[in-house]
Amino acid sequence: MARIGLGMVGGGADAFIGGVHRIASRIDGHFDLVAGALSSTPEKAKKSGEALGLDPDRSYGSFEEMAEAEAAREDGIEAVSIVTPNHVHFAAAKPFLERGIHVICDKPLTATFDDAEAMATAVRDSKALFVLTHNYTGYPMVRQAQAMVAEGGLGQLRVVQVEYPQDWMTDAVENSGVKQAEWRTDPERSGAGGSIGDIGTHAFNLAAFVTGETPTRLAADLQSFGAGRALDDNAHVMLRYDSGARGMLWCSQVAPGYENGLRLRLFGDKGGLEWAQEDPNVLWYTRHGEPTQRITRNGAGATDASTAVSRIPPGHPEGYLEAFATLYSEAAEAIRAVQSGEDREAVMGKLPGLAAGLEGMAFIRACVTSARDDAAWVTL
Amino acid sequence: MARIGLGMVGGGADAFIGGVHRIASRIDGHFDLVAGALSSTPEKAKKSGEALGLDPDRSYGSFEEMAEAEAAREDGIEAVSIVTPNHVHFAAAKPFLERGIHVICDKPLTATFDDAEAMATAVRDSKALFVLTHNYTGYPMVRQAQAMVAEGGLGQLRVVQVEYPQDWMTDAVENSGVKQAEWRTDPERSGAGGSIGDIGTHAFNLAAFVTGETPTRLAADLQSFGAGRALDDNAHVMLRYDSGARGMLWCSQVAPGYENGLRLRLFGDKGGLEWAQEDPNVLWYTRHGEPTQRITRNGAGATDASTAVSRIPPGHPEGYLEAFATLYSEAAEAIRAVQSGEDREAVMGKLPGLAAGLEGMAFIRACVTSARDDAAWVTL
Amino acid sequence: MARIGLGMVGGGADAFIGGVHRIASRIDGHFDLVAGALSSTPEKAKKSGEALGLDPDRSYGSFEEMAEAEAAREDGIEAVSIVTPNHVHFAAAKPFLERGIHVICDKPLTATFDDAEAMATAVRDSKALFVLTHNYTGYPMVRQAQAMVAEGGLGQLRVVQVEYPQDWMTDAVENSGVKQAEWRTDPERSGAGGSIGDIGTHAFNLAAFVTGETPTRLAADLQSFGAGRALDDNAHVMLRYDSGARGMLWCSQVAPGYENGLRLRLFGDKGGLEWAQEDPNVLWYTRHGEPTQRITRNGAGATDASTAVSRIPPGHPEGYLEAFATLYSEAAEAIRAVQSGEDREAVMGKLPGLAAGLEGMAFIRACVTSARDDAAWVTL
Amino acid sequence: MARIGLGMVGGGADAFIGGVHRIASRIDGHFDLVAGALSSTPEKAKKSGEALGLDPDRSYGSFEEMAEAEAAREDGIEAVSIVTPNHVHFAAAKPFLERGIHVICDKPLTATFDDAEAMATAVRDSKALFVLTHNYTGYPMVRQAQAMVAEGGLGQLRVVQVEYPQDWMTDAVENSGVKQAEWRTDPERSGAGGSIGDIGTHAFNLAAFVTGETPTRLAADLQSFGAGRALDDNAHVMLRYDSGARGMLWCSQVAPGYENGLRLRLFGDKGGLEWAQEDPNVLWYTRHGEPTQRITRNGAGATDASTAVSRIPPGHPEGYLEAFATLYSEAAEAIRAVQSGEDREAVMGKLPGLAAGLEGMAFIRACVTSARDDAAWVTL
């Protein structure tokens, strides 16, 4: 089957996440990157396009230009990846959504709550698919964890412990030219949340994805430890679920020794499980009263939920890029399905979309609101 | 040097912690257990004394009897270990404190706050030493962690993450004859705190011991998941320190897969460290910007703080009983020092005593108070 | 830059390694798979080509046909991947080598020693590059290990411990339809070595790659535990190096609990290091007398040798497919360099080629010879 | 029950293993150390006795003197611990064996094969028990591993991988005043084996204890890497069992990064297991085709074999000293049984004794013989 023509907004030189999206789009061979507006500076955009081998005619100076031109081409892009800083997500997605071009957007949804509402409207008004790359949900053992919880492997859920520590912002690197830190610490470009928007939303989403439950109340204590930092770089959050479950969420960008320590632990009245992103091919599962099991991707104990999104035999580690690629492959499948006339909602399967994006925004808003009120309980 | 004559209150058949104290008192050879009131039931007390090989004349039916008789003997006990359920701690310690017999008491200090105050008065009025067995502070790598923090290895402390999950009360085992669970879930015998009193105090104490800082405010969300359970079996607590540091504390007795998962992680502006009780011979240390180091007991990187309380070469694991024994050995040293006329406060060194006990009680009280007020911030 | 046109021999339905090569060729975007002779059965070959979306005109019934037709096209393939069972490697590579089409061949070099010699001649007579996919050398931390050894991080090398246990052939799965096991246990298709050819060569190559030394003598005890199995499924090998270093190599396909447990440990008079394929983003390094360091891919302590072949930030695990892709990317670079007139030998860089293949064959031969002589020492 | 009066030969100042025996004898409270000949230098012996608080009358200048005097006392010692360097084992044990005083002797049995035979005769001629402290067999999870193998948990045993790396002799520390290294590298005091005698025998014994099988042939390649070292400090050994099983044994004292890395891995046609001394409370077990289980001491999955020799709840780590103490406690039980008239052979239970000692000596002899013949196969 022919590959899907893909465009990209953002992702020029120096960008981390743009490169990740490009590799992810290639791994399973469902996309061809054929157009781009790779930087907000037209000149840099062109240069980046050249470096990536884009046809110069399809390397655009702005996303509006790209949307218009590509929509007009017979061989125009079918989908676009939005990999800009958060504050550009909505503006960049809009012209493509309006033209029915499918959007694969990095998280969080937007920087501001106004933008989030506008994005919601634009998505609802469009015929295009909207995929939000909460990429950690693409890990095979996360899928298996979700299935095990759904099948009652934990019994009644009681306790959620989710954390996402990093250490790369321990020093105020935003003041020494680290571009990734510059926009993430700038409320104008990042939004009201610092670490909670950048990584807390991942932790929140992961817990919701696996448990199938979203907390309804939270109390958040946000801190900014980096000198002169306007946004939080560490957050302590307590969670309450309508089911009676309770949780804690910790995210930090100032935790020396942790590189990308997303970790989820769940406990119910029948069992517990644990998954850590830095050792992603393993799921630890304890049926209460039995020895803990080490369940491995594609190994003994792996079920359809994980093997279906796994590429290679057990013991041959798959990583971050493969998990990301799974979202792209599922997006490709969804795009093909919509193109053959299937219902837009029905094809999403496990793909995170607008709903996950809005939940993430609600999480950020609730954390900020709670923190301003001395960590009072806030309803999401 | 002659061994110190030791008595014991509690610790009869079925008791876990009594046996631990006995082994701990033997490991370094500083004590001889020569007297006991091993159960609240005189008959059981005698039987337990026999099983332990106590001289029948010194196996007493009650602690009052023992205190009186032993104080009257020329070769009477010099110290007594109190290993009863919490609600008996004060009553049992009192007659010995009054007679100048040194007290080694299990934690928490007491079950009630009234008892805690009474204990404080009794200790202050006595000439005897009062040691509270916050045994985790006896681990060599905990000592080293304390020293490293004190010497600036973390820089300015920012984040404290401490947790103590267990799983043995996942089911309502207190209803099926597990004696250890029976008294721990009974407010009359355990006090106002369930998991927070039993293990949360350990976590709180460990963090305070290593950081040298005690939080001044906390917000606690307490849960009782076990069917019909009166006291908390899971607790989520947020901590604030006057220094600006923030923390989270989680303790649980309903976390399947965790046996005795006490774990401390600290992060400052210069580095981070991690220690886990189930792998106690290792301390993970990261100087920010350098590879994480695996520092081992008595191995390369170990300093005086840990080697001084270590018995055997690196790679030969010391465990829980050795850490406990270190408190006994330090107690022996303190007793000998006091007996030679040194000042009672000066000899305590790193031994936890009344102050740690009162801090633990304040922690329990603050958690309970906060939880009743929907997890509002409470000053300790 | 335009992508390199790639063909593939083997790799049809049911094949594991063909899919791996395809993904690896796509990850960094240097190749386009445009032609294939995907099965030895022409009909299956066509069907597989269709499934992969190959132009039907370039989906061939045999590799000879493909070589001839592609060499005749102006837009013919520039490189071919050989991913057949071992006994076909030489026959499949030959027609491409003769036509100057670059060959990327799976390991081991061939099934028989005659074929190996013929392959050597064909490679020497060709102008094309010959790359052998000893893929584990593509892992960033393997590259760093190599650099650290070369820079004296271990001092004088003393002891090599390398192992490669798997468990998937614990039962005689070759008798129950597992195709991967069928040809691997068949001397006609696999050659004289079973586990030593399939995975022992990887272990041997990894040790040689990292240490820069090849043992000159070995003593091998080979076993066939699987019922009715003609070839070894477990091997114990002692190694001697001219430098005075000594080593042990263990490989097994009957080790329950091990999925793909390739692991290398090296010890010198100044330090030691350890790398394990199932946790590939970490390198453990001990400078003798200092705490062991956990060096991570792209993290603190990572050097050019590893960061140069790393794609994403620390803590975002790269895996098997990325390591494999590194060989493809380096092959692409080498191909472009040769096409611009650079010397064929000079462009290989760290890529394994004919020499590594011949060393692997010599290893297999020596093991088999030694084993037949009751594990006598044999010179490689 | 009254404690057993214990004497000690060796174990004065600077001695590591003497202190270990003393703690081990105290942990479970079955022994009282009441006499000693703690050094070969009478003056040092007296001084060490004083430091340990021995009655000066029972602190002897020589073991002969002690044996004679203690045998003459009504309250004389019932057992003696021999903790000298290897070359003194026989001479020290003899006078006690002759007098019916039970002997607890450190391993290996003796330094020379002549001494080993003489020891065998002396033991056979005596009425006393002879216990050899192959202490690693006292670990609870080693006991459980033994039971699991015996009960068929692995099926037919195929592969034994046992290793014991250390790093403390990486440098020639015997030349810089490290007493532990001095005698271990001296053939006069240590015997014909260096690392194989000191730690290889432990590895060999552990494998035999757990599998219930002893190899009948071996091929050993011994190395001395330390400058000027007369005895091996690294050994590579291949093993063959009559049952068809095969094995490898590696021991080393020059492996930087390893402190006391004794590790056993066993594989059969139904499953595999792994145990590592530095993480001794865990046993990893894989029933082929099922997820690997993490079985913990006293936890879910622990059986009588391990819980019977365990003191405290799961998650409260027991260590090296407790494992050692288990041998002492079992020795105490055996001594009491013999004293009540039971048969000397029948009471030994799982205790290692003369047979294990002779097997260890045969292992050393076979390794040395094989190594001298270029690692030829030797029958044990």
The CA dihedral of C347, C349, C353, C354, to the nearest 10 degrees, is: 70
pLDDT for the residue C184: 87
DSSP string, A254-266: --TT-SS--EEEE
Mutate which of A234, A236, A273 to disrupt the B interface (most B C-beta within 10 Å)? A236
pLDDT of C282 higher than 70: yes
Locate the DSSP E strands across D70-201.
Answer: 79-82, 102-105, 130-132, 157-165
The closest of B166, B192, B169 to B179, measured between CA atoms, is B169
> How many structural domains compose chain D?
2
Q: Judge: A272–B167 Cβ closer than 8 Å, yes or no.
A: yes
Are D9 and D45 in a shared domain?
A: yes
Instruction: Name the residue of chain A whose CA is nearest to B222's CA.
Output: A246
D126: tokens are 């005596």
Q: What are phi and psi of B59, to 5 degrees?
A: -105, 105
Note the Cα D136 to chain centre separation in Å: 7
Question: Domain boundary residue among C128, C159, C185?
Answer: C128
pLDDT for the residue B65: 97
Name all chains with 3 or more CB-CB pairs below 8 Å to chain B. Answer: A, C, D
Question: Domain boundary residue among B128, B153, B169?
Answer: B128
Mean pLDDT by 10 residues, chain D (380 residues): 92 86 97 96 92 94 97 97 95 98 96 95 97 98 98 98 98 88 87 94 98 98 95 98 98 98 98 98 98 97 97 98 98 97 94 97 97 97
B323 is a domain residue: no
* pLDDT tens digit sequence for C238-264: 999 999 999 999 999 999 999 999 999
Q: In the predicted model, what is the mean pLDDT of residues B79-86?
A: 96
Q: Which residues of A make CB contacts under 8 Å with D?
A: 285, 289-296, 299-301
Q: Judge: D288–C236 Cβ closer than 8 Å, yes or no.
A: no
pLDDT of C130 higher than 90: yes
In chain D, residues with a C-beta closer than 8 Å to the C-beta of A145 are none
Sorting pLDDT into bands at 50, 70 and 90, what band is C177? confident
Q: Which residues of C make CB contacts under 8 Å with D?
A: 158-159, 161, 163, 167, 170-171, 219, 221, 223, 225, 234, 236, 238, 240, 246-248, 250, 252, 254-258, 265, 267-274, 284-288, 292, 374-375, 377
B250 is a domain residue: yes
Task: Compute the nearest-CA separation of B93 from chain D (Å).
Answer: 25
In chain C, residues with a C-beta closer than 8 Å to the C-beta of A16 are 312-313
Are B266 and B371 in a shared domain?
A: yes
Q: Give the β-pairing of A79-82 and A4-9.
A: parallel
Q: In the predicted model, what is the mean pLDDT of residues B6-17?
A: 88
The CA distances from residue C173 to A302, B184, C186, C253, in Å, are: 19, 53, 13, 11
In chain A, residues with a C-beta closer than 8 Å to the C-beta of D295 are 291
Looking at the partner chain, which of A23, A29, A319 has a beta carbon nearest the beta carbon of C317? Answer: A319
Longest CA–CA span in chain C (Å) reads 64
Query: Tokens 């093991």 belong to which residue?
Result: C367
Q: Which residues of B make CB contacts under 8 Å with C?
A: 285, 289-296, 299-301
In chain A, residues with a C-beta closer than 8 Å to the C-beta of D291 are 285, 293-296, 299-301
Q: Judge: D293–A294 Cβ closer than 8 Å, yes or no.
A: yes
Name all chains with 3 or more CB-CB pairs below 8 Å to chain A. Answer: B, C, D
Give every CB contact of residue B267 below 8 A, 6+ residues apart in sequence. A252, A254, A255, A256, A257, B154, B157, B158, B159, B161
pLDDT of B178 higher than 90: no
D172 is a domain residue: yes
The CA distance from D245 to D269, in Å, is: 11
Q: Judge: B301–C294 Cβ closer than 8 Å, yes or no.
A: no
Question: Domain boundary residue among B68, B93, B128?
Answer: B128
B233 is a domain residue: yes
DSSP string, A41-91: SHHHHHHHHHHTT--GGGB-SSHHHHHHHHHHSTT--SEEEE-S-GGGHHH
Q: Judge: C317–A317 Cβ closer than 8 Å, yes or no.
A: yes
* pLDDT tens digit sequence for A78-124: 999 999 999 999 999 999 999 999 999 999 999 999 999 999 999 99
The CA distance from B66 to B220, in Å, is: 41
pLDDT for the residue A1: 62
Q: Judge: C291–B296 Cβ closer than 8 Å, yes or no.
A: yes
Helix (H, G, I), strand (E, B) or coil at C114: helix
A310: tokens are 């796994």
Are D100 and D168 in a shared domain?
A: no
A123 is a domain residue: yes
Are B155 and B102 in a shared domain?
A: no
Looking at the partner chain, which of D163, D238, D254 has a beta carbon nearest the beta carbon of C236? Answer: D238
* CATH number of the domain to which B157 belongs: 3.30.360.10
Asked if D247 and D162 touch (Cβ cutoff 8 Å), the reply is: yes
pLDDT of B184 higher than 90: no
Q: Judge: D318–B313 Cβ closer than 8 Å, yes or no.
A: no
Give every CB contact of residue A330 below 8 A, 6+ residues apart in sequence. A138, A349, A350, A351
Q: Do you know the residue count of chain C?
A: 380
Task: Tell me: cis bond preceding D165? Omega within 30 of 0 counts.
Answer: no
A177: number of Cβ within 10 Å: 8
A118: tokens are 């506008």
pLDDT of C237 higher than 90: yes
Q: Judge: D317–B313 Cβ closer than 8 Å, yes or no.
A: no
Q: What is the pTM of this model?
A: 0.97
Q: Judge: C256–D272 Cβ closer than 8 Å, yes or no.
A: yes
* pLDDT tens digit sequence for A303-337: 999 999 999 999 999 999 999 999 999 999 999 99
The closest of C328, C334, C308, C341 to C27, measured between CA atoms, is C328
Are D159 and D303 in a shared domain?
A: yes
pLDDT for the residue C79: 98
Looking at the partner chain, which of D225, D248, D269 has a beta carbon nearest the beta carbon of C248? Answer: D248
**Weakest-pLDDT range from A238-247, A293-302, B183-192, B198-207:** B183-192
The CA distance from B275 to B164, in Å, is: 12
C348: tokens are 């290989």
- For B251, the domain range is 138-312+360-379
Are A122 and A197 in a shared domain?
A: no
Sorting pLDDT into bands at 50, 70 and 90, what band is A13? confident
What single letter denotes the amino acid at residue C61?
G
Instruction: Name the residue of chain B whose CA is nearest to C282's CA.
Output: B291
B328 is a domain residue: no
**Beta pairing partners, D266:** D160, D273
Looking at the partner chain, which of B289, B293, B296 has a beta carbon nearest the beta carbon of C293? Answer: B293
The CA distance from C193 to C370, in Å, is: 12
A164: tokens are 């996402």
B379: number of Cβ within 10 Å: 12
Q: What DSSP designation does D293 have?
A: E
C187: number of Cβ within 10 Å: 14
* pLDDT tens digit sequence for B128-143: 999 999 999 999 999 9
The CA distance from B231 to B226, in Å, is: 9
Task: Compute the nearest-CA separation of B163 from chain A (Å).
Answer: 11
Q: Judge: B234–A158 Cβ closer than 8 Å, yes or no.
A: yes
Task: Compute the nearest-CA separation of A170 from chain B (Å).
Answer: 6
Asked if C132 and C357 touch (Cβ cutoff 8 Å), the reply is: yes
Mutate which of A160, A161, A170, A294 to disrupt the B interface (most B C-beta within 10 Å)? A170
Name all chains with 3 or more CB-CB pairs below 8 Å to chain C. Answer: A, B, D
Q: Judge: C261–A26 Cβ closer than 8 Å, yes or no.
A: no
Q: Is the confidence metric ipTM above 0.95 for this complex?
A: yes
pLDDT for the residue B318: 98
Helices (H), A201-245: 201-211
* pLDDT tens digit sequence for C302-344: 999 999 999 999 999 999 999 999 999 999 999 999 999 999 9
Instruction: Name the residue of chain B whose CA is nearest to D49's CA.
Output: B1
The CA distance from D291 to D308, in Å, is: 27
pLDDT for the residue A73: 97
Q: Which residues of C make CB contacts under 8 Å with B?
A: 285, 289-296, 299-301
Task: Compute the nearest-CA separation of B316 from chain C (Å).
Answer: 16
Q: Judge: A234–B219 Cβ closer than 8 Å, yes or no.
A: no
Instruction: Name the residue of chain D whose CA is nearest to C156's CA.
Output: D225
Share of chain B above pLDDT 90, in %: 92
Task: Compute the nearest-CA separation of D291 from chain B (Å).
Answer: 15
**Weakest-pLDDT range from B216-220, C92-96, C182-186, C352-356:** C182-186
Q: Judge: A271–B256 Cβ closer than 8 Å, yes or no.
A: yes
Looking at the partner chain, which of A234, A267, A377 has a beta carbon nearest the beta carbon of B158? Answer: A234
Are A206 and A106 in a shared domain?
A: no
pLDDT for the residue A125: 97
Asked if C248 and C237 touch (Cβ cutoff 8 Å), the reply is: yes
Count of helix runs (H) and strand runs (E) in chain D: 13, 14
The CA distance from C124 to C106, in Å, is: 18
Are D114 and D167 in a shared domain?
A: no
C161 is a domain residue: yes
Share of chain B above pLDDT 70, in %: 99
pLDDT for the residue B1: 62
The CA distance from D358 to B172, in Å, is: 53
B324: number of Cβ within 10 Å: 24
C343: number of Cβ within 10 Å: 9
DSSP string, C192-236: S-SHIIIIIHHHHHHHHHHHS---SEEEEEEE--STT-SS-SEEE
Share of chain A above pLDDT 70, in %: 100
Give every CB contact of residue C343 below 8 A, 6+ residues apart in sequence. none
Asked if D126 and D97 touch (Cβ cutoff 8 Å), the reply is: yes
pLDDT of A138 higher than 80: yes
Q: Give the β-pairing of B4-9 and B31-37.
A: parallel
The CA distance from C81 to D354, in Å, is: 62
Query: Tokens 């552990």 belong to which residue?
Result: D206
Asked if D242 and D216 touch (Cβ cutoff 8 Å), the reply is: yes
In chain C, residues with a C-beta closer than 8 Å to the C-beta of B300 are 289-291
Are A239 and A275 in a shared domain?
A: yes
The CA dihedral of B333, B339, B340, B344, to the nearest 10 degrees, is: 80
The CA distance from C193 to C185, in Å, is: 9
* CATH number of the domain to which C46 belongs: 3.40.50.720
Name all chains with 3 or more CB-CB pairs below 8 Å to chain D. Answer: A, B, C
Q: Give the β-pairing of B292-296 and C292-296.
A: antiparallel
Q: In the predicted model, what is the mean pLDDT of residues C85-102?
A: 97
Q: Classify burial at C291, counting beta carbons within 10 Å of its beta carbon; exposed 0-12, middle 13-18, buried 19 or more.
A: buried
Task: Compute the nearest-CA separation of D218 from chain C (Å).
Answer: 11
Task: Compute the nearest-CA separation of B320 from chain C (Å).
Answer: 23
Are B154 and B256 in a shared domain?
A: yes
Sorting pLDDT into bands at 50, 70 and 90, what band is B89? very high
The CA distance from A45 to A55, in Å, is: 13
The closest of A255, A243, A101 to A170, measured between CA atoms, is A255
pLDDT of A163 higher than 70: yes
Quote the Cα angle for D287-D248-D378, to 5°: 135
Are A59 and A172 in a shared domain?
A: no
The CA distances from residue A82 to A23, A39, A129, C49, in Å, are: 14, 11, 13, 33
Looking at the partner chain, which of D168, D280, D296 has a beta carbon nearest the beta carbon of B259? Answer: D296
Are C93 and C224 in a shared domain?
A: no
Q: In the predicted model, what is the mean pLDDT of residues B36-50?
A: 93
pLDDT for the residue A67: 98
C212: tokens are 């820069």
Task: Compute the nearest-CA separation of B261 from chain D (Å).
Answer: 7
